[in-house]
Amino acid sequence: MPRLLWGLLPLATIDVVLFLVPMVIMALFSLRFSEELLGLTGRWTVAHYIKVFTSEGIYLHILVKTIVIALIATAACLLVGYPFAYFIASTSRRWQGVLLTLVIMPFWTSYLLRVYAWTAILGDRGLINEALHFLRITDQPLSFLLFNVFSEIVVFVYLYIPYAVLAIYASLEKMDRSLVLAAMDLGATPVQAFLRVVLPQTLPGVYASIVFVFIPILGEYVTPTLVGGMSGVLITNLLVNQIHALEFGFGAAIAFVIATFVLVLLLGLRRSVDLERLYVG
């Protein structure tokens, strides 16, 4: 036992120094009201939290909007990613390797560059508008393509779909293929076989992709900043504004509200996809 604990020491140290301590400091910030900037002195208060939920509903409104946009992007990732993962899993071993490499290829390029590249696709003088103009379909560039919620969701789906595909592929890959044959053998049409056998079997993969897609989008800052425009402002933008204004207390409170939401969500997902329960009893 002691030896095992020694082995955990490096990880524990990193965890405490880089995660736990900053969290505690942020928590203290969020619960303190100080006259001076960056002050941890002053009195205990929950005023920052109250402000998140009041302030004429500005923050609450953006928070809900962030959640709705993240939900839409996650749903799109699942709807596009699931069939693609299914397709990959149904190809030969060799093709699976090729296709999976293609799926993770975007990770070889800088995240910032990839987001920025979308302005070159969706912008007024971007790929789409130039093509439409060249084909004489439009004479004015379509300005609704960029700097709004639409472009923001498009970029979210583009950025996070690999995670959804990989998580769903992993669960499809684990599934015994003969289960589909068995279902069809017992009279299930391909659609029934999918809904009653394949989908329930791969729910852990679906939940994993929700975790990998939905939660990071809640914390997205770069995408709304670069392609979201005014209408695409998300909760993280407001949070960063507070930090820039050195309102650490209020910024920390926003962060903890998001963190609490994520925590509740994770617990909810865990309950609904308890692997133990799914497979054993």
Partner 1 sequence: MGAWANEFLVTETIPHTGVSRPASRNAAVELRSVTKRYGDVVALREISLTIHEGEFFSLLGPSGCGKTTTLSLIGGFIEPDAGDIVIQGRSVVGIPPYRRPVNTVFQSYALFPHMTVAANIDFGLRMRGVPEVERVRRIDEMLGLISLPDFGGRRPSQLSGGQQQRIALARALVNHPAVLLLDEPLGALDLKLRKQMRIELARIQREVKITFVYVTHDQEEAMTMSDRIAVMNQGRVIQIGTPQMIYEQPVSRFVAEFVGANVLGGTIEAVDGRAGRVRLDAGSAITAVCPDGLLPGDRVSVVIRPEQAAIAGRPGPGVNAIPGQVLKASYLGTHTQVIVRVPGGIEMTALLAAGGPSEEIPAIGEETHVVWKSDGSLILVEEGSA
Q: Are 173 and 87 in contact (CB under 8 A)?
A: no
CB 173, min distance to partner 1, A: 15
User: Among residues 138 and 272, whose Cβ is nearest to partner 1?
Assistant: 272
Q: What is the CA 57 to chain-centroid distance, rounded?
A: 24
Q: What are phi and psi of 115, to 5 degrees?
A: -65, -45
User: Among residues 7 and 200, whose Cβ is nearest to partner 1?
Assistant: 200
Site track for partner 1 across 164-203, x = CB under 8 A: ------------x-xx-xxxxxxxxx--x---xx--xx--
User: Among residues 207 and 250, whose Cβ is nearest to partner 1?
Assistant: 207
CB 138, min distance to partner 1, A: 47
**206 touches partner 1 by CB under 8 A:** no
**280 touches partner 1 by CB under 8 A:** yes
CB 190, min distance to partner 1, A: 8
CB 196, min distance to partner 1, A: 8
CB burial of residue 237 (10 Å; 0-12, 13-18, 19+): middle
CB 281, min distance to partner 1, A: 5
Would you state the structure tokens that stand for residue 155, as one six-digit string?
A: 């970029």
Interface with partner 1 (CB under 8 A): 176, 178-179, 181-189, 192, 196-197, 200-201, 278-281
